[in-house]
Homo-oligomer: A and B are copies of this chain.
Amino acid sequence: MLQHQAPPSLDPVFQALADPSRRSMLERLTLGPASVSQLAEPLPMTLAAVGQHIAVLEAAGLVKSQKVGRVRTCTLDTTVLTQAEKWINDLRVAVERQLDRLGVYLAETKPADEA
């Protein structure tokens, strides 16, 4: 059966992005794939905690990983990242349109007013 994607929730994505440790892990992954230990190295917490953060990131769809031997290698997946970006962008654009309409309305209602 074809895997048809149901619209993935933005909840776990924004939730995952809300943590500074997880964001720094994502930033690290922009340099290239990394193991759990490598992701843990700069962080002031145990390896177990980092493993749990990775689970959160994977559940959100932000990170993929595969284990080869005893090393789990993580990579970024930008799919849901793009969806989150689009949600924010849509919202921002909608606000700006609303403000434009307000501006037009004010200009038409109260024309040629000197400040």
Contacts and interface: CB of A to CB of B under 8 A. Distances in A.
* Number of this chain's copies in the complex: 2
What range describes how many residues of A lie at the interface?
20 to 34
A89 B26 CA distance: 12
Interface in A67-115: 76, 78, 81-82, 84-85, 87-89, 91-92, 94-98, 102
A81 B76 contact: no
Given A12-B18, A78-B92, 20 more contacts: A10-B20, A10-B23, A11-B18, A11-B19, A11-B20, A14-B14, A14-B15, A14-B17, A15-B18, A17-B18, A17-B88, A27-B91, A27-B94, A30-B97, A76-B91, A81-B88, A84-B88, A85-B85, A85-B88, A88-B88
